Amino acid sequence: MVSGIGQRKNQVSKGEEMENQKNRIFIADVRSLSKPHRLAAALRAVSTERQKKARRLKTPAAKALSVGAEILLQKAVAQSYGIDGPLVLEAGTSGKPWLVDYPQICFNLSHSGDYVVCGLGSRPVGVDIQKMAQPKLRLAKRFFAPSEVDWLLTLPQEEQQQGFYDLWALKEAYMKYTGKGFALPLHTFAIDCHREAAITAATASISEGDRISVVIKNYPELEGYVIWAVTDTGAFQECLEWITL
């Protein structure tokens, strides 16, 4: 067993230099996993912890999102690094999971609606996807930074949905990038839109008192959804990479 793990680690080190790779964002549609025979097979393909988590969920759609996230991770790692087979995940001290056999591979998962996304690279990464609905302005007023609320309320009503979900997803992506998740309160850092009419990766910045040096990327190509990603150095691939589960 130890020898096998050593071979897999070596497989990563002999591949393309990880530090020179761009961070990649993979995406998959999980709707096919909601079918009973597909869901049963998917459950067998994921970790015991993921199986337990999925079985606690009530609907086939929710179960499909849960198991689909881990299957997407498996396929993304296989495609990027040539590593096939089950992956051993453990939660770190802050709760963010990591790959036990491949600690040099950083990843983050998110799901919403019918889709799961996986951020993958050699540096810490956070990614978040949100299916847009009505903007939750009361939630924003309660939890967002005051400057974010002020900006959001200056938008025309028809633009507040996009503005709210861009803020929400970018804030979650940053929280996940730090590894703190919701232990980092939403109001303690702010997305600075520089008084622009919309949040873009080119103009937005993040500050916790002082401006934080991070790389921000958004993927606007999925209609009805927002997807944002954050890392510390390097660049992201320009487009989402689709994988069939």
| pLDDT, tens digit, 9 for 90 and up, residues 166-201 | 999 999 999 999 998 887 888 889 999 877 889 999
Q: Do 2-123+237-242 and 129-231 agree at the fold level?
A: yes
Tell me the mean pLDDT in the region 232-242. Answer: 94
CA distance 84 to 19: 21
Residues 9 and 101: beta-carbon distance below 8 Å: yes
pTM of the model: 0.89
Residue spans of the domains in the chain: they are 2-123+237-242, 129-231
Q: Any idea which architecture 2-123+237-242 has in CATH?
A: Alpha-Beta Complex (3.90)
CB-CB neighbours of 198 under 10 Å: 12
Pick the closest to residue 243 from 74, 11, 42 (CA basis): 74
Give CATH for domain 129-231. Answer: 3.90.470.20
Comparing 18 with 215, the larger pLDDT belongs to 215
* The predicted structure's pLDDT at residue 199: 93
pLDDT class of 5 with cuts at 50, 70, 90 = very low
- Per-residue DSSP letters for the chain? -HHHHHHHHHHHHTSS-GGGSPBEEEEEE-GGGGSHHHHHHHHHTS-HHHHHHHHHSSSHHHHHHHHHHHHHHHHHHHHHH---S---EEE-TTS-EEESS-TT-EEEEEEETTEEEEEEESS-EEEEEEE--S--HHHHHHHS-HHHHHHHHHS-GGGHHHHHHHHHHHHHHHHHHHT-GGGS-GGGSEEE-TT-SS--TTT-EEEESEEE--EEEE-TTSTTEEEEEEESSS-B-SS-EE---
| pLDDT, tens digit, 9 for 90 and up, residues 49-81 | 999 999 999 999 999 999 999 999 999 999 999
CB-CB neighbours of 167 under 10 Å: 26
